[in-house]
A and B are shown apart, each in its own frame.
Chain A
Amino acid sequence: MTGFRLDKGGLIDRKAPLYFTFDGRAFTGFAGDTLASALISNDVHLMGRSFKYHRPRGVISAGSSEPNALVELREGARKEANTRATMIELHDGLVAKSQNHWPSLEFDIGALNSLASAMFVAGFYYKTFMWPKSFWEKIYEPIIRKAAGLGNASKEADPDKYEKAYAHCDLLVVGSGPAGLIAALMAARSGARIILADESSTLGGSLLNENEEIGGMSGHAWAIGVIGELGSKSNVTLMPRTTIFGWYDDNIFGAVERVNDHVLEPSPYEPRQRYWRIMAKRAVMATGAEERPIVFGGNDVPGVMTAGALRTYANRYAAAAGKSVVVFTNNNSGYRTARDMNAHGVHVEVIIDSRKEPNVDAGGVPVIRGGAIVNVRGGKRVSGVELADHRMIPCDAVAMSGGWSPIVNLMCHRGAKPKWDERIAGFVPPDVGDRFVAAGSAAGRMLLSECLADGARAGTLKGKTPAIPKCRDEAFAVTPLWWVKESTGKAFVDYQNDSTAKDLPLAAQEGYRDIELAKRYTTAGMATDQGKLGNVNAIAILAEATGRTMDQVGTTTFRPYYTPVSFGAIAGPFVGHHFQPVRKTPLHDWADELGAVFVETGLWMRSSWFPQAGEDWLASASREVLATRERVGLCDVSTLGKIDVQGKDAAEFLNRLYCNTFSTLDVGKARYGLMLREDGIVFDDGTTSRLAADHFLMTTTTANAARVMSHMEFCHQAHWPELDVQYVSVTEQWAQMAIAGPKARATLQKIVDKVTLDDTGFPYLAAKEISILGGMTARLFRISFSGEHAYELAVPADYGNLVARSIMQAGEEFGITPYGIEALSIMRIEKGHVAGGELNGTTTAGDLGLGKMMSSKKDYIGRMMAAREGLTDKNRQCVVGIRPFDAADKIRAGSHILKKEDAPSMAADQGYISSVAWSPMLNMWLGLALLSNGRERHGEVVKIFDGVRKIHMFGVICDPMQYDRENKKLHA
């Protein structure tokens, strides 16, 4: 062996050397290596520091349960923190850095925490940093934040793509070890649609790591044969590099496929990762078993790892974790490691077996029976072990095995709890029905022949289970040893969070006897590895400390995700401008041509103002208001919800939806409507027009368009299915624009066909289908939000821009001006029309001054509850107008209103300002407010209190309508 790379064997490609760096140092590995195996083969064991004590740490495992060897992978925008070196496939140019240390991995100041460890016992966060309170923000928190935390995230945007995908299958097999492979094979041969997924880069599971014999060949050769057959079948989808991370209702599984994590940069045509939802008729959990560490002094020194990991590095990666190995075991797994290492020519010093009388083939390695390690010597690398009988044995690697835990996580994701099985000293999965079954060691069957038989059974969807190939079994026997109490060094239960064996009895002593509480108190099981290695040990130690059985203590709750899932995968392609769709109105291009500034309202882009050179928003909006009120303006109102309602019972339906009556509306007329919620609060408002006896066109506010539609569907289908009425949203089908101002009529007259727009031909509130521009269908409504003589014109959406341009042309001689929603808002406040600030989910029709609209002659949604005492109280806050007492003052929305003599504080609160605008007509700030008993208080001088800015001023309450109070302009 040269260095720590074995001369032969392993599933690495020695003809394909790969160059990579770790902490800036250059190394070489081979194709087939993981970052961990490549580092081990280069004699690098120190890969990180622990979270609390900053202890030097190396790998413990060879798989996804790894708690220690977490690194920052890649650089710049692609940097990813907390990736497990054991799962990173080595590739040329790979760059990785250790984390959780300062200033360097070799020398770390935080390790001083270890010396002050008395301070850092379980619950130390809750105890130490409680007092004095003022210290928390300024002193404790910044120190903890600097010293703690794992890797650093990149602050740049992720340049890679992620996808979401869906799959359906007859059988999903999770895990491709012996049980998974044979299950997939049996099912595939029956023609069923199979998905076989495995988190590893290569299918084969434990057959890649262990020396097995199946069907007269090596386990690996058998696996290659099966995978070959599966791969040749069109009904089979093989998914390596895919973690099934969760099991959900209806046998739906979540998965992440790491499509391009194993290359330097993904191809521009492929995602980095794919987030799958797999709908499986049936599924097999063949996830295998996880080897547990033993809790003994120094069980975290780099060079100590699980026995299975040590032989995996040798068997699969041809990497020797040391030149002289000590094995510490309470079951047969340690012997297997000893024999395998021997076969690879690595010296095994001794097997320390905690059992008194094991009878296992040790392959000639000496065995100390009934022994235990109390401490491991060495700081950044194992140099020897101390035994309970004070013997000291030099070595540079320790293989430990505390037994095997079936990987039951997925089957427990929907609430079922695993059961303790004394025979294997492990929790076995619950019975969750025949749509999801466990097979192999995941089901607690620890012999290879049992795994094959179990897998074959699970994969036989119909008929008799075929015979399985002959194989060689490795005997399984375990006698629990959880914690070497004589340990002299720190004995870790949870590596990443630095929870020690002593923390759990302490938690129990302080009253945290429940495993869920003990977990949070000691933080055991709360790290990124979610206690995959440490949880069962923690349960056992807590059970012993509290005199309970394993089942009585039970496990903590298993939740998705099985291993960490990146935010990129969860977000999928829905980032940046794909995050949500952009809704452009049919007049968008027209507004854009005229230099509109757009504002997002929900998904909509609305033209907000149309600035000329040098204007800010207020100057622009003020000019637009003046132009509209003096001449004529054109505004895009296409975003209002439009619902076409037809049928014999259309009028009756509207009567029941709105608090006012629509059955009395004449054909060809529009009426303002107010809709309540069933609890009597105002829901929405808008104008509804009757186009024919059985045909109405409703409009809703922009914000509530979708909600009103759902509400109508609910009311009709659930309450009144007998009504003969149909309705459909036509918001997208019609462009709608307001033409307002003294010259609106003259402007429009130039583009309409035939109709004369005088008070006889088209009176106030007329609503008719007409034609414009020599034959284009249009709908014209004489309604006004601005208070001016105004119209709304609707045309088929595709003609929106053309018609808007035509109106601009027609109005040119009158000085037509486009106006945006800022100007619209100013004008509605000047006129005292309520909008979002007042229709805010707390106000009644009465509060809005619209109480008279509520019919007493019919039932409608909200009628009964609106009559409740609290909703009709005269002291309720109702809509009023408000102005500053000193016209030079600026009032702000959100300010509160007090009696003028009251001290500025919320204690004397009487209401608040809901909307404000600078009125270019009145040359001052105006507002609408909700004020207690407000209608009786017009003329009252009040105090306006802005608690955020800590300012107050005087104001005057007035009628909400502050401009053109006689509505002369509306009817001009």
Chain B
Amino acid sequence: MLIKCPHCGTRPVEEFTFNGDASIQRPTSNDPATMDQWFDYVYLRDNPKGRFDEYAHHSSGCRAWLVVTRDTQTHEIFNVVTARDYAKKRVAS
């Protein structure tokens, strides 16, 4: 598989390390009442078939965390953005 890093261009998958679903967001509250949200965030993951936003660290490259949007069935990659831009866009929306 080849991944197009926004900084480094198209690079082989071996240069990347993966860290699962990027669509879930770390809760911000420390209120004990939010424990269920935290539990979901830390432990619960979907295993979707099809389009999936996934964290990928360009660990043997520029060291940027990226969000790769990929079809889990065909491995077609639709989009790659930095995790930074992904997070900022999420805050904005």
Residues of A within 8 A of B (CB): 248-250, 252, 277, 279, 678-679, 710, 713-714, 717-719, 721, 859, 863-865, 867-868
Let me know if A867 and B82 touch, CB within 8 A: no
Per-residue CB contact flags for chain B residues 35-62 toward chain A (1 = under 8 Å, else 0) read: 1001101110000000000010101000
Q: Report A868 CB to chain B, min CB distance, Å.
A: 8
Closest to B41 in A: A678
**Contacts of A248 on B, CB cut-off 8 Å?**
1
Let me know if B57 and A714 touch, CB within 8 A: yes
Let me know if A713 and B63 touch, CB within 8 A: yes
**Contacts of B42 on A, CB cut-off 8 Å?**
678-679, 865
Q: Report A344 CB to chain B, min CB distance, Å.
A: 50
Tell me the bound Cα distance from A403 to B27 in angstroms: 64
Question: Which of B39, B55, B84 is A721 in contact with, Cβ under 8 Å?
Answer: B84
Question: Which of A250, A718, A859 is B1 in contact with, Cβ under 8 Å?
Answer: A250
Closest to A709 in B: B63
Are A279 and B65 CB-contacts (below 8 A) given A710-B59, A714-B57, A718-B22? Answer: no
Question: Which of B2, B26, B55 is A279 in contact with, Cβ under 8 Å?
Answer: B2
Let me know if A718 and B2 touch, CB within 8 A: no
A-B contact pairs, 25 of them (CB 8 A): A248-B1, A249-B13, A249-B75, A250-B1, A252-B1, A252-B2, A277-B12, A679-B43, A713-B57, A714-B65, A714-B83, A717-B82, A717-B84, A718-B22, A718-B65, A718-B84, A721-B83, A721-B88, A859-B28, A859-B30, A864-B34, A864-B35, A864-B38, A865-B42, A868-B35
Question: Which of B30, B63, B88 is A863 in contact with, Cβ under 8 Å?
Answer: B30
**Contacts of A679 on B, CB cut-off 8 Å?**
42-43
B8 adjacent to chain A (CB < 8 Å): no
**Contacts of A678 on B, CB cut-off 8 Å?**
26, 41-42
**Contacts of A718 on B, CB cut-off 8 Å?**
22, 55, 65, 83-84, 86-87
Let me know if A717 and B87 touch, CB within 8 A: yes
**Contacts of A721 on B, CB cut-off 8 Å?**
83-84, 87-88
**Contacts of A867 on B, CB cut-off 8 Å?**
32
B79 adjacent to chain A (CB < 8 Å): no
Let me know if A714 and B75 touch, CB within 8 A: no
**Contacts of B88 on A, CB cut-off 8 Å?**
721
Q: A710-B17, A714-B55, A864-B34 are in contact. List 5 more A-B contacts (CB 8 A).
A: A250-B75, A252-B1, A717-B65, A721-B87, A865-B39
Q: Report A29 CB to chain B, min CB distance, Å.
A: 43
Let me know if B2 and A250 touch, CB within 8 A: yes
The 7 A-B residue pairs whose C-beta atoms are closest, nearest first, are A249-B1, A718-B83, A721-B84, A717-B65, A250-B2, A249-B75, A864-B38
Tell me the bound Cα distance from A859 to B65 in angstroms: 22
**Contacts of A863 on B, CB cut-off 8 Å?**
30
Closest to A718 in B: B83
Let me know if B2 and A713 touch, CB within 8 A: no
**Contacts of A713 on B, CB cut-off 8 Å?**
57, 63-65
Tell me the bound Cα distance from A279 to B35 in angstroms: 48
Let me know if B87 and A865 touch, CB within 8 A: no
Residues of B in contact, count (CB < 8 Å): 32
Tell me the bound Cα distance from A859 to B34 in angstroms: 13
**Contacts of A859 on B, CB cut-off 8 Å?**
28, 30
Q: Report B3 CB to chain A, min CB distance, Å.
A: 9
Residues of B within 8 A of A (CB): 1-2, 12-13, 17, 19, 22, 26-28, 30, 32, 34-35, 38-39, 41-43, 55, 57, 59, 63-65, 75, 82-84, 86-88
**Contacts of A864 on B, CB cut-off 8 Å?**
27, 30, 34-35, 38
**Contacts of B55 on A, CB cut-off 8 Å?**
714, 718
Closest to A166 in B: B12
**Contacts of B28 on A, CB cut-off 8 Å?**
859
Q: Report B24 CB to chain A, min CB distance, Å.
A: 11
**Contacts of A277 on B, CB cut-off 8 Å?**
12
Let me know if A719 and B87 touch, CB within 8 A: yes
**Contacts of B82 on A, CB cut-off 8 Å?**
717
Tell me the bound Cα distance from A868 to B39 in angstroms: 10
**Contacts of B17 on A, CB cut-off 8 Å?**
710
Tell me the bound Cα distance from A710 to B60 in angstroms: 11
Let me know if B30 and A865 touch, CB within 8 A: no
**Contacts of B43 on A, CB cut-off 8 Å?**
679
**Contacts of A710 on B, CB cut-off 8 Å?**
17, 57, 59
Q: Report B13 CB to chain A, min CB distance, Å.
A: 8
**Contacts of B27 on A, CB cut-off 8 Å?**
864
Q: Report A203 CB to chain B, min CB distance, Å.
A: 29
Let me know if B1 and A717 touch, CB within 8 A: no
Q: Report B31 CB to chain A, min CB distance, Å.
A: 9
Tell me the bound Cα distance from A38 to B39 in angstroms: 70
Tell me the bound Cα distance from A721 to B91 in angstroms: 11
Tell me the bound Cα distance from A468 to B75 in angstroms: 37
Query: Which of A714, A717, A863, A865 is packed against the most chain B CB atoms within 10 Å?
Result: A717
Tell me the bound Cα distance from A250 to B75 in angstroms: 8
**Contacts of B65 on A, CB cut-off 8 Å?**
713-714, 717-718
Q: Report A210 CB to chain B, min CB distance, Å.
A: 39
Closest to B58 in A: A713
Tell me the bound Cα distance from A678 to B39 in angstroms: 10
Tell me the bound Cα distance from A853 to B12 in angstroms: 43
**Contacts of B38 on A, CB cut-off 8 Å?**
864-865
Let me know if B87 and A714 touch, CB within 8 A: no
Tell me the bound Cα distance from A718 to B84 in angstroms: 6
**Contacts of B22 on A, CB cut-off 8 Å?**
718
Q: Report A676 CB to chain B, min CB distance, Å.
A: 12
**Contacts of A717 on B, CB cut-off 8 Å?**
64-65, 82-84, 87
Tell me the bound Cα distance from A714 to B58 in angstroms: 11
Tell me the bound Cα distance from A279 to B9 in angstroms: 15
Q: Report B34 CB to chain A, min CB distance, Å.
A: 8
Q: Report A254 CB to chain B, min CB distance, Å.
A: 12
Q: Report B2 CB to chain A, min CB distance, Å.
A: 4
Query: Which of B1, B28, B64, B83 is packed against the most chain A CB atoms within 10 Å?
Result: B83
Let me know if A714 and B19 touch, CB within 8 A: yes
Query: Which of A714, A721, A865 is packed against the most chain B CB atoms within 10 Å?
Result: A721
Q: Report A8 CB to chain B, min CB distance, Å.
A: 51
Tell me the bound Cα distance from A17 to B65 in angstroms: 62
**Contacts of A865 on B, CB cut-off 8 Å?**
38-39, 42
Query: Which of B32, B34, B42 is packed against the most chain A CB atoms within 10 Å?
Result: B42
**Contacts of A719 on B, CB cut-off 8 Å?**
26, 87
Closest to B26 in A: A719
Tell me the bound Cα distance from A865 to B42 in angstroms: 9
Q: Report A240 CB to chain B, min CB distance, Å.
A: 26
Closest to A719 in B: B26
**Contacts of A279 on B, CB cut-off 8 Å?**
2
Tell me the bound Cα distance from A714 to B86 in angstroms: 13
Query: Which of B41, B57, B65, B86 is packed against the most chain A CB atoms within 10 Å?
Result: B65
Q: Report A696 CB to chain B, min CB distance, Å.
A: 19
Tell me the bound Cα distance from A713 to B65 in angstroms: 7
Tell me the bound Cα distance from A859 to B83 in angstroms: 21
Tell me the bound Cα distance from A864 to B38 in angstroms: 7
Closest to B75 in A: A249
Q: Report A373 CB to chain B, min CB distance, Å.
A: 47
Closest to A864 in B: B38
Tell me the bound Cα distance from A86 to B10 in angstroms: 40
Tell me the bound Cα distance from A863 to B32 in angstroms: 11
Closest to B34 in A: A864
Q: Report A442 CB to chain B, min CB distance, Å.
A: 23
Tell me the bound Cα distance from A864 to B33 in angstroms: 11
Tell me the bound Cα distance from A446 to B55 in angstroms: 48
Tell me the bound Cα distance from A863 to B30 in angstroms: 8
Closest to A678 in B: B42
Q: Report A843 CB to chain B, min CB distance, Å.
A: 18
Q: Report A560 CB to chain B, min CB distance, Å.
A: 15
Tell me the bound Cα distance from A718 to B34 in angstroms: 21
Closest to A248 in B: B1
Q: Report A865 CB to chain B, min CB distance, Å.
A: 6
**Contacts of A250 on B, CB cut-off 8 Å?**
1-2, 75
Tell me the bound Cα distance from A426 to B38 in angstroms: 56
Query: Which of B22, B55, B84 is packed against the most chain A CB atoms within 10 Å?
Result: B84
